[in-house]
Structure 1
Amino acid sequence: MANVQSRLVLSWLVVQQWLQTPRIELAKNVLFIIVVYRLLSRFLYLVRLRGPVGLLVEWKQSIIRILLNRAKQLPGVRNKIQSELDKVIKKIQDDVAPVRPGETRYLQLPKQGFTAEQIHAELEKYHGMAKVDWKDGRISGAVYHGNEALSNLCVDAYRLFSVSNPLHPEVFPGVRKMEAEAVAMVLDMYHAPPSAGGVMTSGGTESLLMACKAYRDWARHTKGITEPEMVVPVSIHAAFDKAAGYFGIRMVQVPVNQTTFQVDVDAVRRAINRNTIMLAGSAPNFPYGTVDDIAALARLAKRHGIGMHVDCCLGGFIAPFMEKAGFHMPPFDFRVEGVTSISCDTHKYGFAPKGTSVIMYRSKQLRSHQYTVTPAWTGGVYASPSVAGSRPGALIAACWTALMSMGEAGYVETTRAIVECARRIANGIDRIDGLRVLGRPIMTALAFAADAPLNVHAINDAMSRRGWHLSSLQHPDAVHISCTLLTVGRADDLCRDLQAAVDEVRADPSLNEKGQAAIYGMAATIPDKSIIGEVAKGFVDALYIA
């Protein structure tokens, strides 16, 4: 035993002596300097990005979150929070997926298949479950056209290509051609150069996901960036949060100007660092309907040799036709030097059925970083342009049909009508005492806030009682409206009901403590947003209760 101890002591002395050699000392000092440099660089970057006060606020919030998370681990606190969460989620589930007495629930395959007559009868029952009449134009967004003739034409296309799959172009060459043509049409709308390329996706979210994935892979391949970051406004679509989580990209959010509600370009400039792979701006953004300064963002991106994405999903078939419809439109498309990709939804103001969008790149080489290629798969060489492998060719055919049916003249006409409607609503809101439109929206979407003591969420509740379905916003509290063709002709009705809603809330302050006003008021006071996240997950769970 003594010999073993002696050998251990001797070994330790040898190690200690080795650690004190000049080379090892040098290595330790270099390592120490690298660690300090990285920590100091990160600290100085955060100071530059947030400012000293902003950084202190972030640290304070982080400390509060840590303390709350520790407190939530205490059995009594954890049980109490879970009990309250269960009550809230149960109420959400009862509202979203109510169990109606006598209603049949299909939880297993029928032993024998239904006849066509039985299927039609059941479909009519399910169709009749809707309580909201979207055709009366009182819904924000959701249904953008509603024309029965166009819908029937798209249904005819869907029926004709119902079994088609662009994964097999040799079997369905017509679908391949229609997809390529639809992408080419959209590229032309956005003044893309001959080198440009695009891909059709399942919607705006997938288009944004694919852009982020392409920039991540491009930056890794060309710059060796392994810790990618993207700089985006707080008003950017939530799909960027999803992309950050899916693809391991740090999302650096910068504020919007509280007067214009456009991204603060100076804040973007301060946020760019050696790991930044892309910037993004909206034309327009969803919350406020404002258009970011795309030209200024593109100049920054070009100066730093990084990607610049324009999220034009909402404005996809409005922005390109603004000037022809007689409206001013700031630079936003491929004519802006430095813009390297644009997303455009065909299933919004393009009036195609839900499930199609186009993601465009200034070069086909950049587009190739979006692809997934598996050359050594045992099932054969595999290549896919986007997330899905098999895709519904019927939706591609229906999208092509909508584009060909509307034509440029049709889109110019609808742009003029919807934008004029949105501006009439904005002017009407500005005339209502206590309300104000946020920023300077120029297209089809806008948001309004309320001056204290009015509560804008209570006003939205009052609008809901009058049959309107508008969207609540937060940070700041506001209400969003996306005008569609169905909204055209209802602008005066909306403003009249909005005035009545304001009068109702002003006359009864207790409405500020009920409905959405109470929910958003409570949410604002909860420092631990993970609790709100659990409620949101409960809502998603409720969607799958049969």
Structure 2
Amino acid sequence: MGRISLPENGMNKEDVLSRLESFKSDDVKWHDGQLFGLIYEAGQDVEDLVKEAHSLFLIENGLSPMAFPSLVKMETEVVSIVTALSGGDDETVGNITSGGTESIFMAMKAARDWARETYPNIVKPEMVVPVTAHPAWNKAAHYLGLKINMTPVKDDLRADVAAMENALTENTIILGGTAVTYPHGMIDPIEEIGRLAREDNLWLHVDACLGGLMLPFLKKLGNDIGPYDFSVPGVTSISADIHKYAYTPKGVSTVMYRKRDFRKFQIFAYADWPGGVYATPCLAGGRPGGNIAAAWAVFQYLGEQGFLALAKKARTAAEKLMDGINAMPQLCVLGEPRATVFAFGSDEINIYELAARMAERGWHIDAQHLPPSLHMTVSPIHLAAADKFLVDLRHTIPEVPPADSEELSEPAAMYAMLGTMPDRKMAKEFAVEYINDLYRVS
């Protein structure tokens, strides 16, 4: 294993920045719209704004509301805007977190502690969520000592509520649904899940990390978006990422609660530390002020009309891409996605090899399994790139071997192997070893 030591003498500013710029040479060229995921780009004007807003509060620390009341003001105003977009009312509260994983984690922590007070006889609490739920649910369950029961989805790739109901036990305290699911871009039937939650007084969390800042605007534009937010009776908490379709730097998300009595279970406080009483609303202590400022700035800069225009561009791009893909006889979009995320697969050609060949043309598309497919998260920037993508895709298909071919490139063969490995424990161990080996100096 290699090792890097602190240099004895520092470099000048220009050399440091030059080195940093050189590190980007092998990164995906996302400014050209060649990346479908990870980056959410609204345009250079928004990017410039968030850079300036972030730099104004670059050093400020959200740990102390007394020292930096400006951050409390901006955080509460941002949360108020997002709760209003999420069907909340004057009783709805929330906080800014570092991302969707922390938002889901905090909601699960609050639900667990609520259940300890509400159902003290339950000592081994469980949650029920569809298999399409983000792995952040599994991570939260692992860290918080919750048992997670994963249920299948229906043929339309949305939650099977009957299966969820059958999975309920006397220890169930949490139900989960998603709007929009990452793998396929679906909106789970939240109204039906809400009915289950109300019948048994269970905590229902809706993961709207991906859709929370897109669906409200698509709905206003006349798109068919079913109920998924606090307008649905039974929904207790919602997570919605700002660093996705509000186009801020990573990581900025929100976790929201129908009323403040639920949020108190999120908060951690310790009164016996010699350093004073310590209390934080979220998992992190110190929180970057720049992220909070960037979030506030985007909402003020774009306003409702700006968000509507960007949502229209993103949805138009998604529809153009889906129509173009469905027009190719070897490919098909999975299900009927209602927003700006979708996946496509093939029964004829090897979908993983297709991704590898498209990567040679500069396109970065994430591979998925169960079933094999390619993931597309579409931003407004992709409207300008859609035609070129479809042309390259059409030209690449004849180069791709059949679905059952064993003559695959190394990346395609590796992903196919992981997706079909019958021993899922072995697949998990492989992933752990890969990550453990990746983060080291080489």
TM-score interval w.r.t. the shorter chain? Answer: over 0.9
Alignment equivalent of 2:12, drawn from 115, 119, 124: 115
Any conservation in 1 of the 2:63–2:285 contact (CA below 8 Å)?
Answer: yes
Measure, in 1, the Cα distance between the counterparts of 2:343 and 2:298.
29
Give the AA of the match of 1:262.
Answer: R
Alignment equivalent of 1:183, drawn from 63, 79, 104: 79
Any conservation in 2 of the 1:316–1:350 contact (CA below 8 Å)?
Answer: no
Query: Is residue 491 from structure 1 mapped to residue 386 from structure 2 by the alignment?
Result: yes
Aligned partner of 1:80 in structure 2 is none
Any conservation in 2 of the 1:435–1:448 contact (CA below 8 Å)?
Answer: yes
Seen in structure 2, the aligned counterparts of structure 1 residues 244 and 112 have a Cα distance that, compared at 3 Å, is: same
Measure, in 2, the Cα distance between the counterparts of 1:110 and 1:503.
52
Any conservation in 2 of the 1:281–1:297 contact (CA below 8 Å)?
Answer: yes
- 5+ residue gaps, structure 1, are 1-92, 94-104
1:167-316 correspondence to structure 2 within 5 Å: 167-224=63-120, 225-257=122-154, 259-316=155-212
Between 536-545 and 246-255, the greater mean CA deviation after superposition: 536-545
Aligned partner of 2:321 in structure 1 is 425
Q: Greater relative contact order: 1 or 2 (C-alpha under 8 angstroms, separation 6 or more)? A: 2
Deviation at 1:124, TM superposition (A): 2.8
Any conservation in 1 of the 2:401–2:407 contact (CA below 8 Å)?
Answer: no
Deviation at 1:131, TM superposition (A): 4.1
Deviation at 1:290, TM superposition (A): 0.9
Seen in structure 2, the aligned counterparts of structure 1 residues 372 and 509 have a Cα distance that, compared at 3 Å, is: closer
More helix by share: 1
Q: Secondary structure at the match of 1:252?
A: strand
Q: Secondary structure at the match of 1:480?
A: strand
Between 118-127 and 484-493, the greater mean CA deviation after superposition: 118-127
Q: Secondary structure at the match of 1:340?
A: strand
Any conservation in 2 of the 1:437–1:449 contact (CA below 8 Å)?
Answer: yes
Deviations 1:341-389 (A, max 9, x none): 1110000110111110000110111111111111222322111111101
Give the AA of the match of 2:79.
Answer: V
Deviation at 1:298, TM superposition (A): 0.7
Any conservation in 2 of the 1:135–1:146 contact (CA below 8 Å)?
Answer: no
Alignment equivalent of 2:233, drawn from 316, 337, 356: 337
When normalised by structure 2's length, the TM-score is 0.95
Alignment equivalent of 2:355, drawn from 456, 460, 480: 460
Any conservation in 1 of the 2:351–2:403 contact (CA below 8 Å)?
Answer: no
Query: Is residue 530 from structure 1 mapped to residue 425 from structure 2 by the alignment?
Result: yes
Measure, in 2, the Cα distance between the counterparts of 1:524 and 1:412.
38
Between the aligned residues of both structures, percent identity stands at 39
Measure, in 2, the Cα distance between the counterparts of 1:239 and 1:498.
32
Measure, in 1, the Cα distance between the counterparts of 2:402 and 2:99.
43
Deviation at 1:438, TM superposition (A): 1.1
Measure, in 2, the Cα distance between the counterparts of 1:177 and 1:357.
16
Measure, in 2, the Cα distance between the counterparts of 1:177 and 1:509.
57
Deviation at 1:488, TM superposition (A): 1.1
Q: Secondary structure at the match of 1:331?
A: coil
Q: Secondary structure at the match of 2:400?
A: helix
Measure, in 1, the Cα distance between the counterparts of 2:319 and 2:407.
28
1:11-410 correspondence to structure 2 within 5 Å: 107-127=4-24, 129-145=25-41, 147-224=43-120, 225-257=122-154, 259-410=155-306
Measure, in 1, the Cα distance between the counterparts of 2:168 and 2:264.
25
Seen in structure 2, the aligned counterparts of structure 1 residues 377 and 472 have a Cα distance that, compared at 3 Å, is: same
Give the AA of the match of 1:306.
Answer: L
Any conservation in 1 of the 2:97–2:253 contact (CA below 8 Å)?
Answer: yes
Measure, in 2, the Cα distance between the counterparts of 1:148 and 1:247.
41
Measure, in 1, the Cα distance between the counterparts of 2:3 and 2:250.
26
Between 284-293 and 490-499, the greater mean CA deviation after superposition: 490-499
Give the AA of the match of 1:148.
Answer: Q
Deviation at 1:156, TM superposition (A): 1.8
Give the AA of the match of 2:374.
Answer: V
Measure, in 2, the Cα distance between the counterparts of 1:511 and 1:492.
31
Measure, in 1, the Cα distance between the counterparts of 2:407 and 2:92.
52
Deviations 1:7-26 (A, max 9, x none): xxxxxxxxxxxxxxxxxxxx
Deviation at 1:544, TM superposition (A): 2.4
Deviation at 1:515, TM superposition (A): 3.2
Deviation at 1:542, TM superposition (A): 4.1
Q: Secondary structure at the match of 1:164?
A: coil
Deviation at 1:421, TM superposition (A): 1.1
C-alpha RMSD of the superposition? 1.9
Measure, in 2, the Cα distance between the counterparts of 1:497 and 1:172.
51
Deviations 1:258-312 (A, max 9, x none): x200011100111112211111111110000011101101111111100111111
Deviation at 1:494, TM superposition (A): 2.3
* Structure ID, larger Rg: 1
Deviation at 1:231, TM superposition (A): 0.4
Aligned partner of 1:84 in structure 2 is none
Seen in structure 2, the aligned counterparts of structure 1 residues 147 and 271 have a Cα distance that, compared at 3 Å, is: same
- 5+ residue gaps, structure 2, are none
Deviation at 1:339, TM superposition (A): 1.0
Q: Secondary structure at the match of 1:278?
A: strand
Measure, in 1, the Cα distance between the counterparts of 2:367 and 2:210.
17
Deviations 1:411-432 (A, max 9, x none): 1111111111111211122111
